[in-house]
Amino acid sequence: MRVKKIIPFLLAFVLVLLVPTHASAVDFEISEVQIEALLNEDGTADVTEQFTYQFEDDFQGITRGLIEKEGTSIGNFQATENGEALRVETEDGLYKIYREGEGDETVQIELTYQIENAVEKYEDGAQFYWAFFDESNESDYGEMTITVVPPAPSDSVEALGYDEAFETQRIMNDGTVIFEMGSVPEGENADIRAIFEPELFPVTAALDGTIRDDLASDRKELENEAAIFAENQQTARNIGIPVIAIAGALLLATILLVWMRAYQRKRKINNYPYQFFVPKETMSIPALLHFTNSAFLSPNTISAAIMELMRKGNVRQLSENHFELIDRDTEHAHEAALIGLLFDEIGDGREFTLEQVEVYTENEDNHETYNNAIAEWNKGISDEVKAKGFREKHPVLRWTVGGLGILFIGLAIYTGIYELFPWMAASIVLAMLAFGFAIGYSPITQEGHEVRRNWRRLKEAMEELPSEQWNRLTKDEKQRAYAYLLGSDQKTAERKAAVFTSADTAADGTSFIMNPVFMTAIFVTAGSTTHATASGAGTAGSGAGVGGGGGGSGAF
């Protein structure tokens, strides 16, 4: 029974990692609930419920789910606010009460209804045994109080609460029973049970057998469970808390140590003196952009990749927006993938134009093919970066920390079962930290830091690079440097375009007469176009309460 308390927390942990969480259509809080069940001599119960809602969003009304216990029925449901009747619609036990309002408004709604056959009369007592909500309820209750009033004063009353209502009952002098549950989280059961003298219900038909011994048996069982739970909870404190503290300190110390070591390596390399130069060719320009700038490649990178193909002699630029394929033999798989998309899929196999890219991506039928090709291109770039080995593996350390993550998940379950919720929360946070480290820890090697540092410094230097210094570079250096700048800093590339792209003529068929603004704009539009293609009013409940009864609350 206690295990159910931790399920929402563990589900939240999983959902944070895997899928978006469900968001209610209306943001609200139920700050107070007052329920009174007035029992009648004929065994019916007249129920009055007062719900206080605090809304943060605009709303259309509230919902109340009522599930009938087997052998009972609910009728004459009405809703009012300050004595004025509200419109109600019902379907399969879900009542929708219409009352429009705006955010930051507090509303108090009164609901009334009658339960037929609410009282079960036996030889030694008549009981009201009911679930006003069950585990399917999706709303927290701030302050919950349930009052059961007999048809006449009673001096032989017994009462018992189950689950969230356990040990919350208080019997008044006149026999009225009050269950003061306080805050009740969503997804919980709380059956309430009160037994009175059978003579108070003369009209109600009597059933064979007795009932008070059954209640006494349930009370003893619940008290035994509570005693065992308290003992186990203390054991959980004695074992779980020290283990969490020690393992958590070990995890944090490990992460801090390896972080400081990686930081010192990076800082040492970044402190080397720097003078402007174009680094030697260690990988393709798209791969450099992936490694040094961002793993999420922007449309600028496609422009840079086309320039890279021009530099290598695979592609020739015939005009500002017209390109010709010269050689299909490429060094990397991602270069072949880009050629296949631009020349074979969009162009005619030998040539393509930027206008053809625009027309192709405007056709929705081509979006899936385009996106798949771009995904293949991205994967090829990522594979080239991984093949360079610029990241350390550390499998033993990562598996060890992953084992700590599994330990923390076990501790979260253990402490959650015994309601040590702050320590359960700490275990979940530590588990997320451990798994994140185990999955993501791969520090950059010294060579990798040097590559990053040199290219990033080059980009910074090119922002204010004099044309004389640019002109001293070789043609290959100019093409690689400008392609990198275009892929990582479009604004600087646009500003420097006239200076950087006019240094050579197109006479030899290898230089570039690029318009970065026009080309990049085409691929930005293509990406946006192709990607553009690619509420809870509440439920009545599942009837998980006593005898299939229950219900819940919500808003719409």
Query: Domains, the chain, ranges and CATH?
Result: 3-10+25-210+541-555 (2.60.40)
Question: Contact, 117 vs 187, CB < 8 A?
Answer: no
Alpha-carbon distance 284 to 333, whole Å? 11
SS3 of 17, please? helix
HSE, CB side, 13 Å, CA atoms: give it for residue 126. 29
Alpha-carbon distance 398 to 405, whole Å? 10
Kindly state the tokens that stand for 539.
């439920």
Strand ordering across the sheet containing 105-116: 84-85, 73-81, 105-116, 45-55, 28-39, 141-149, 177-184, 169-171
Alpha-carbon distance 225 to 334, whole Å? 64
Amino acid at 512: F
- In terms of C-beta distances under 8 Å and separation of at least 24 residues, what long-range contacts does 539-542 make, across chains too? 539/65, 539/94, 539/136, 539/138, 540/65, 540/66, 540/67, 540/92, 540/93, 540/94, 541/65, 541/66, 541/67, 541/93, 541/133, 541/134, 541/136, 541/137, 542/67, 542/134, 542/135, 542/136
Q: Which bin fits 222, alpha (ψ -120 to 50), beta or left (φ > 0)?
A: alpha
pTM recorded for the entire structure: 0.60
pLDDT tens sequence for the chain (556 residues): 444 445 455 545 544 444 444 444 678 888 999 999 999 999 999 999 999 988 888 888 888 888 888 889 999 999 999 989 999 888 888 889 898 888 888 889 999 999 999 999 999 999 999 988 888 888 888 899 999 999 999 989 999 988 888 889 999 999 999 999 988 888 888 888 999 999 999 988 889 899 998 888 888 988 888 888 888 889 989 999 999 999 999 999 999 999 898 888 888 888 888 888 899 999 999 999 999 888 888 888 898 899 899 999 999 988 888 999 999 999 999 999 999 999 999 999 999 998 999 999 899 999 999 999 999 999 999 999 999 999 888 999 999 999 999 999 999 999 988 878 899 999 999 999 999 999 988 888 999 889 999 998 988 888 888 888 888 889 889 889 888 888 887 777 666 666 665 544 443 444 455 566 677 778 878 888 877 665 445 555 556 666 566 667 777 7
Alpha-carbon distance 67 to 552, whole Å? 9
Pairing of strands 73-81, 84-85: antiparallel
Q: Which bin fits 349, alpha (ψ -120 to 50), beta or left (φ > 0)?
A: left
Alpha-carbon distance 256 to 78, whole Å? 62
